[in-house]
Amino acid sequence: MAEFPVAIKNLITAFERLPGIGPKSATRLVFYLLNTPQSFIDNLSNSLLRLKKDIKICSVCFSVGDTEVCSICSDNKRNKNVVCVVERAIDVMVIENMGGFKGVYHVLGGAVNPLDHIGPDDLKIVELLQRIRKMVNEVDKKDMEIILATNPTMEGEATALYIKRRIEEIDKEVNISRIGSGLPIGADLEYADQATLSRALDGRRSI
Amino acid sequence: MAEFPVAIKNLITAFERLPGIGPKSATRLVFYLLNTPQSFIDNLSNSLLRLKKDIKICSVCFSVGDTEVCSICSDNKRNKNVVCVVERAIDVMVIENMGGFKGVYHVLGGAVNPLDHIGPDDLKIVELLQRIRKMVNEVDKKDMEIILATNPTMEGEATALYIKRRIEEIDKEVNISRIGSGLPIGADLEYADQATLSRALDGRRSI
């Protein structure tokens, strides 16, 4: 059986390591690139190299941006007393694309996950508590809200619970909320899993 | 609505131009890369840059390889009198991975496609006819076979027909064959399209 040339093999191997790209897609991508102009490949390669070099991690919320303090944290129209805590920078983008949220964010950098050896100290929880401590001293607690928007997974729930307890150690009167979970819009009760259904019932609201 | 940082936007745009990658997959890939070590990104970027530089186009069959004459064309165990004509280099890899084919290849670089302004002169047809002319002079015509394995599409069929006529101009006695088409293995008659079904009937074999 003939082997791919080394340059093709190397690129297929590199593509295969990306999420959602298997051996067949990787091969297809490489042979597609073989037929594109070199300028297109140069541009892709360059954008890759510049990715981490050009990006700044916001010193306030740890999201990604073009500046030292990101565009959301430096926007005077945003309500700095409402902090939405998320796992990853992409979650910020998702909520922003939805529109409507006028508060600010705090990116933890993941969720507590003992199997992957990720403990609370590996996340930006100390930094979040510092932000909250400062807010408690400076603003009216009634205006404050910490929205825990970690994923509704085992790890995300555990992280939310851990953060809730740590905030309560600072001040029991701080408003802490958790994003709603239940059936997604457009879903069918018949096909819902038990955990989601049970959560949807727990989270029922009077109408 | 907040915008992605420039470096992220650029890379998403570059990924989106690849086949099978939409805006959501592109965004997912970029945020995945943000969490990978720089060495991984460097390697991917490097493999991309080296792709076209390290690859040689075989001077005999126009497939891709590591050397001036590819490993298949320089393999003495292959039957040089049986030439499988394909559209793209990836088709060579597909047939090689199947195993069993002991002839050599000729990569056209595409198929005749008037809508995309690709005529016979844009493909390696002249080079194929030169190879065949040389073979006709040197070997017994009974041992020769030209297998036209262009895709069973409008363009592939037209290309095969055009090449068949051009070969007949050289010598009417050269064996020319077309890869079989019909229902793929595992398919269901009920769901076959009419063109495929009609081709399957035309291509029926006595058993």
| A77 secondary structure, DSSP code | T
A80-178 CATH: 3.40.1360.10
Contacts of A34 in chain B (CB under 8 A): 51-52, 55, 64, 89
Q: Which pLDDT does position A163 carry in this prediction? A: 96
Q: Tell whether A7 is within 8 A of chain B (Cβ).
A: yes
- pTM given for the model: 0.75
Residue B135 in contact with residue B171, Cβ under 8 Å? no
Q: Distance (Å, rounded) from C-alpha A30 to C-alpha B77? A: 29
CATH architecture of the domain with range B78-178? 3-Layer(aba) Sandwich (3.40)
B189 pLDDT higher than 80: no
How confident is the model over B171-181, as pLDDT tens digits? 999 999 988 88
Q: Which pLDDT does position B1 carry in this prediction? A: 44
Fold of A6-52: Helicase, Ruva Protein; domain 3 (1.10.8)
Give the model's confidence band at B105: pLDDT under 50 very low, under 70 low, under 90 confident, else very high: very high
Q: Tell whether B19 is within 8 A of chain A (Cβ).
A: yes
Q: Tell whether B113 is within 8 A of chain A (Cβ).
A: no
Q: Complex ipTM above 0.90?
A: no
Please name the residue of chain B whose CA is at the shortest distance from the CA of residue A75: B2
Q: Tell whether A50 is within 8 A of chain B (Cβ).
A: yes
Q: Which CATH superfamily hosts domain B6-54?
A: RecR Domain 1 (1.10.8.420)
Q: Which pLDDT does position B3 carry in this prediction? A: 74
Please name the residue of chain A whose CA is at the shortest distance from the CA of residue B51: A7
Region B160-167 average pLDDT:
95
Lowest mean pLDDT among B6-10, B43-47, B162-166, B182-186: B182-186
How confident is the model over B84-94, as pLDDT tens digits? 999 999 899 88
Listed residue (B130, B89, B134, B131) closest to B108, CA to CA: B89
Residue A61 in contact with residue A107, Cβ under 8 Å? yes
Give the percent of chain B with pLDDT over 70: 98
Residue spans of chain A under pLDDT 50: 1
Task: State both tokens at B142.
Answer: 């009974």
How confident is the model over A51-67, as pLDDT tens digits? 989 999 999 999 998 99
- Residues A52, B66: C-beta atoms closer than 8 Å: no
Q: Which of A36, A51, A91 to mutate to test the interface with B (most CBs of B within 10 A)?
A: A51
Looking at the complex, report in whole angstroms how far the Cα of residue A110 sits from the nearest Cα belonging to chain B: 10
Q: Where are the beta strands (DSSP E) in chain A?
A: 56-57, 64-65, 79-86, 103-107, 145-148, 176-178
Answer yes or no: same fold for B6-54 and B78-178.
no
Choice between B192 and A137, residue whose per-residue pLDDT is larger:
A137
Q: Where are the domains of chain B?
A: 6-54, 78-178
Please name the member of B19, B42, B52 whose beta carbon is closest to the beta carbon of A38. B52
B191 pLDDT higher than 90: no
Please name the member of A34, A56, A96 whose beta carbon is closest to the beta carbon of B52. A34
Q: Which pLDDT does position B2 carry in this prediction? A: 57
Instruction: Find where tokens 């597609």 sit.
Output: A32
